[in-house]
A and B are shown apart, each in its own frame.
Chain A
């Protein structure tokens, strides 16, 4: 294709990408460099149903003048990125100096909100992604060998966890794992421990969220693998059977190699999705034990009476950076494979 034709060909999608992806990211980046103006405080007498009191309020006239002079806020450079709510450079170096050992250093760093969120986000991503791929493949193989009559209903039921909205799904499970709920009460009987509660301990909360993540995402990898299984060449499989390959050997040496590009695709999608884990934390009320980068953004925007736009923007940029770093190995691998192929 000529370069000129190619340009015209991709122009619509390119302009849509600039408009809806690139520009918003630039706007978020600009926002992350600014914070609110200095507020001019005055002490006044406030009265209400419960009496009068001298309290501090914002001097609106003085603050408005500052706001009109610079509507975007006060330029703060990268200081939002380095403050305690984000990379916390000062706190981390302080921890490095004062720590008694590497364990102490780690626990001091994990006490900072950003690193605590990163720890959970990464754990979630790296635990859930492989399980989703394995479980999805297993379910796809199982469904594929079912008789035709019950295949349709089985596929429908297997897809249900993905059809349920994540927030609703996690809320329903949250009530089921309650110590008076179906799952919670059953676990108490099985483990013979009347005090067992999945909501109380951080470890069990993490495991619950992991299990939920696998449950919710496995249908996605199942359906992709199932579609892939339909295209596995029957000749090769039959040849392998004639050569006396067992079912396991056929799977290992024919089906799985054939599925490798799909594994790359699912890994890519799952890494991105799981890195943005958010709904289950809200649904399971798990913020005491587990927070993610997306949850911090939510908390900056919805946690209190007023919003921290600069903070939320900085965390968003760091999340994008994190996704990029995470996807880099997979992308490099795909690029190499692409180059290796004869055109």
Chain B
């Protein structure tokens, strides 16, 4: 469904006029881009930079520290950057402080090539233009699964039994891994697992956290069971570590980001044996749930509020040029693009399958960041066997309450 939608969109829009024309039709304005630092965003920024010249100035700051810069940089007047490229978690601080402007008029004027699904609307107003998608999902090595006589798992219970089978066959002692580094990564794994229960993380309409329950305990116990099959160093595993393990052929099943697909499946850093047998499949369900235990993420651009309307328009046009069909055609395998003209490849299969199976987007709530941080800090004790699941969840709740009070979300 998801894949078909993207393909259909591509076919239709190939006929439509593209926004990428020389000079982008701009005569003046300043475009200042703040974004994260990875190849897909380099391609987008390069597209925007093509609009420079004839009185239009385009500068960029692409850094992994962008999240820590954005609030201060957009608070100043005029803002340091005219656009901040965000994901569904990092847009929240900008929304909370009212630092980005509604884009409805700009979309009406310059956004003809956009799909409705690309428009991120909050309370009826378009606040961001999404252009790529990401999610964590299963990666499997078909050759090892075949050797152990198991099929590709669709549930975490099957991941456990498949890992045991691989261990019993003497192929690998620790066939499984996920990004469980203490901190943001570990928090994200719990959020994914909890999402698989279909339960809400907060009492609806309030900032009251609602994870200290049977669903939370079950999610933690599942994480711990999985860690039996993961290398004992698992609390230090981030995406770079798991990617290295995968490329080194030391894993048979893993839960990793789809955005790593391009880098793993290319002909660098790994062997033919690993890359040809790697398959990216949907995130598993668990505990008889029907929702995949994963969260869907988008990346998109926003426009600062504290800039002139002229700069805002120039920025919008330049960014539209950055996410043009031509850019996608030239950089097809760098991301799962939400843009017209994208042809989904092998690396996109996992994300597409996860979205099709009905995974929920990462909660775009003002206080989600506080809970995520609390989860990342408080859960490692449980996974190290130093405390019970109930105690770990009580700790998370207490840490969240303290942080949410300080941020003004709880009284």
Contacts and interface: CB of A to CB of B under 8 A. Distances in A.
B122 A44 contact: yes
A304 B182 contact: no
Interface residues of A, number: 56
A56 interface: yes
Contacts of A53: 361
Given A39-B407, A57-B95, A285-B181, A303 B377 contact: yes
B406 A80 contact: yes
B328 to A, nearest CB: 15
Contacts of A287: 182-183, 377, 380
B411 A58 contact: no
A197 B233 contact: yes
A299 B184 CA distance: 10
Given A41-B409, A58-B96, A311-B406, A306 B369 contact: yes
A83 B410 CA distance: 14
A89 to B, nearest CB: 13
A39 B366 contact: yes
Interface string B317-351: 00000000000000000000010000000000000
B182 A45 contact: no
Given A41-B206, A57-B95, A285-B236, A304 B372 contact: yes
B152 interface: no
A212 to B, nearest CB: 15
Interface residues of B, number: 71
A310 B364 contact: no
A311 to B, nearest CB: 6
Contact of A35 (B123, B232, B408): B408
B399 A55 contact: no
Nearest to B235: A288
B369 A36 contact: no
A38 interface: yes
Contact of A304 (B232, B370, B411): B370
Interface in A65-104: 74, 76, 80, 83-85, 91
A15 interface: no
Interface string A273-300: 0000000000001011100000000010
Contacts of B32: none
A83 B366 contact: no
Nearest to A108: B391
Contact of A113 (B71, B120, B204, B399): B399
A91 B130 contact: no
B232 A195 contact: yes
B170 to A, nearest CB: 14
Contact of B408 (A38, A56, A57, A285): A38
24 contacts: A35-B406, A36-B406, A38-B408, A45-B121, A45-B124, A46-B120, A49-B296, A50-B355, A53-B361, A56-B365, A58-B366, A60-B96, A85-B406, A179-B231, A199-B235, A288-B236, A301-B68, A303-B184, A303-B377, A304-B369, A305-B372, A306-B369, A306-B370, A310-B406
Closest 5 CB pairs of A and B: A288-B182, A44-B123, A200-B232, A305-B369, A288-B380
Interface of A: 35-39, 41-51, 53-58, 60, 63-64, 74, 76, 80, 83-85, 91, 111, 113, 178-179, 195, 197, 199-200, 202, 285, 287-289, 299, 301-308, 310-311
